[in-house]
């Protein structure tokens, strides 16, 4: 009888340890994904001064928008590298606002033929497209990692070992701005 108890105890301990390892791995994956986001966001931040410098020459009536973008960039830059869930959530919100602001800027630029055809602006727009694609990719990697971590922590016996693995408050998801969401329709391009 006592042999069976021992076997059950050993299996339980091994099971908990395996679960603990899985949580630690997933936690590290989230950290890796978060740093991936920061890399892409800093590329976005590096692009902004150039875009603003070109836009200022043509968009005299859009100074408020340009000032907003510059402010949001500063806010976003200050929060790069933060690991506290609350600070991360604030960073994501600020970056989403920045993304929307940049989107608006390029939309406004469409109404200014000279700005739209400016060689530097064309190049900046192409780079922006690439950077935004990479930001979206980093966001998807991060969200997938957060989902995996949440699953491991919230499914029994995850709750028992999450604290031991150093996972307290769950990291937030990085939701895409509403303006960037939409259904994919392959048929449109086939």
| Residues binding other proteins (CB under 8 A) | 33, 36, 39-40, 129-130, 132-134, 136-141, 144, 148, 176, 180-190
What is the smallest separation between the CB atom of 33 and other proteins, expressed in angstroms? 7
What is the smallest separation between the CB atom of 173 and other proteins, expressed in angstroms? 11
What is the smallest separation between the CB atom of 100 and other proteins, expressed in angstroms? 13
What is the smallest separation between the CB atom of 22 and other proteins, expressed in angstroms? 15
Rounded Cα–Cα distance for residues 25 and 8 (Å)? 26
When the beta carbons of 12 and 137 are compared against other proteins, the nearer one is 137
Cis peptide before 157 (omega within 30 of 0): yes
When the beta carbons of 114 and 175 are compared against other proteins, the nearer one is 175
When the beta carbons of 69 and 131 are compared against other proteins, the nearer one is 131
When the beta carbons of 77 and 145 are compared against other proteins, the nearer one is 145
When the beta carbons of 108 and 176 are compared against other proteins, the nearer one is 176
What is the smallest separation between the CB atom of 58 and other proteins, expressed in angstroms? 25
């Amino acid at each position: 009888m006592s042999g069976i108890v021992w076997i059950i105890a050993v299996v339980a301990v091994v099971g908990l340890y395996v679960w603990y390892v899985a949580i630690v791995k997933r936690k590290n994956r989230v950290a890796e994904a978060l740093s991936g986001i920061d890399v892409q966001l800093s590329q976005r931040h590096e692009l902004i001064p150039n875009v603003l410098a070109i836009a200022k020459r043509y968009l005299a009536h859009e100074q408020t928008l340009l000032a907003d973008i510059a402010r949001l960039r500063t806010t976003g830059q200050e929060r790069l590298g933060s690991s506290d869930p609350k600070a991360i959530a604030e960073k994501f919100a600020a970056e989403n606002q920045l993304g929307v602001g940049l989107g608006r800027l390029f939309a406004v630029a469409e109404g200014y033929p000279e700005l739209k055809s400016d060689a530097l602006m064309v190049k900046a727009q192409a780079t922006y497209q690439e950077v935004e694609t990479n930001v979206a990719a980093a966001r998807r990697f991060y969200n997938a990692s957060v989902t995996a971590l949440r699953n491991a922590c919230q499914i029994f016996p995850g709750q028992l070992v999450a604290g031991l693995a150093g996972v307290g408050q769950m990291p937030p998801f990085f939701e895409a701005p509403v303006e960037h969401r939409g259904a994919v329709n392959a048929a449109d391009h086939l």
